Amino acid sequence: MRKLKLDELNRVSVAEFKTSNKLPVAVVLDNVRSMHNIGSIFRTADGFAVEQVCLCGITAQPPHREIEKTALGATQSVSWSYYTSPLEAINQLRNDGYRIIAVEQAEKSKMLQEFIPANGEKYALVFGNEVNGVSDEVMQNIDACIEIPQFGTKHSFNIVVSAGIVLWDFFTKITGKTS
């Protein structure tokens, strides 16, 4: 077996990406502190062609060397905006027709594999701070909460791992594609 070369991957250009069909998902980063996590989420958002990333509160904004270290240019392809608070972002997204879903361990959360996105619906997925999770103010203003099942001794996944799992799940359920 041979690894594919970069020119064999048939990737679209940034200009083509910007005009291509997007997954009807916005990623909301609720006070994420690690710039490496922010960059990795941009890269993941690019990989699944999400509509936008909303950076909130203390979440750093591009351009920044530490974000680019892991984003590898995805800050140029993925549409993003900054909000002073996550509540401001989710209120705007709700006004734009998005359903607000926290990714968090909470009372009455629904396990990820049980959540089925509705056809024609847009979703804003809120990922929280690495230590404190999704803020209480956001949790009081969500439409639903999904949780990733876990089976080990730790209480959480890294935010980037969580984003990758959830975005892959939404991508396959919404598009029907697995490759």
> CA–CA separation, 108 vs 89, rounded Å?
24
| Separation in Å, CA 166 to CA 65, 86, 174 | 27, 19, 12
Q: Average the pLDDT over each of 64-73, 160-169, 170-179 and give the range with the smallest value.
A: 170-179
pLDDT tens, position by position, 13-34: 999 999 999 999 999 999 999 9
- Over residues 114-126, the mean pLDDT reads 97
Number of residues assigned to the chain: 179
Task: Give the percent of the chain with pLDDT over 70.
Answer: 100
Domains present along the chain, CATH in parentheses:
20-175 (3.40.1280.10)
3-state secondary structure 12-31: CCHHHHHHCCCEEEEEEEEC
Tokens of 66: 């530490």
Q: Give one DSSP letter per residue of 27-63, joined into a string.
A: EEEES---HHHHHHHHHHHHHTTEEEEEEETT---SS
pLDDT for residue 31: 98
Tokens of 137: 């103010």
pLDDT tens, position by position, 64-111: 999 999 999 999 999 999 999 999 999 999 999 999 999 999 999 999
Confidence of residue 12 (pLDDT cuts 50, 70, 90): very high
pLDDT for residue 179: 79
Q: Are 146 and 48 in contact (CB under 8 A)?
A: no
Q: Which pTM value belongs to this model? A: 0.97
Q: Are 129 and 156 in contact (CB under 8 A)?
A: no
pLDDT at 56 over 90: yes
pLDDT at 164 over 90: yes
